[in-house]
Amino acid sequence: MRKLSLVVVATMLLATGNVLANDVNGENPSRNLSAQISKMLTENNFSEEHNDLTAQVRFTLNADGEIVVLSVNSEFDKMESFVKAKLNYQKVNLTDIEEGKVYTIPVRIEA
């Protein structure tokens, strides 16, 4: 009888662990956001001499689900204006928007 109760308890613990380990949301919202931003920045007019540009972009989302760029850190001066022009006040498609949360993403532009 004692072994049976141990088996039942072990089964319940495994079942509980499996339920808690399941991905409830289905998809990662930050990965979805990165993919949308990448799509917005695909069209650029940088010459081939500037073929590998990088920047750190800090932004937040407003109540309407629009990107508000806070800062762009890059060694290339025109990168800041390009990123701000492409991303500022562009609407993103997210189900759970956290207004005011600050995101930082690395951006790399290849010509």
11 within a domain of the structure (yes/no): no
Question: What are the residues whose beta carbons fall under 8 Å from the beta carbon of 42, sequence distance 6 or more?
Answer: none
Q: CATH code at 98?
A: 3.30.1150
Instruction: Give domain status of residue 71, yes or no.
Output: yes
Tell me the longest C-alpha to C-alpha distance in the chain.
77
Per-residue pLDDT tens digits for 17-57 = 665 565 555 566 677 888 888 888 888 777 666 667 888 99
Residue 58: which pLDDT band, with cuts at 50, 70 and 90?
Answer: very high
Q: Alpha-carbon distance 98 to 16, whole Å?
A: 29
Inside any domain, residue 55:
yes
Report the number of distinct structural domains present in the chain.
Answer: 1
The answer to whether residue 22 is domain-embedded is no
Residue 41 is predicted with a pLDDT of 84
How far apart CA 100 and CA 97 sit, in angstroms, is 9
Task: State the DSSP H helix or E strand holding residue 40, giving kind and residue range, or none if neither.
Answer: helix 29-40
Model confidence band, residue 8 (pLDDT cutoffs 50, 70, 90)? low
Note whether residue 46 is domain-resident.
Answer: yes
Residue 50 placed within a domain: yes
Quote the domain boundaries for residue 71.
27-110
For residue 98, what are the β-bridge partners? Answer: none
Does the residue 17 lie in any domain? no
Q: Output the pTM of the full model.
A: 0.67
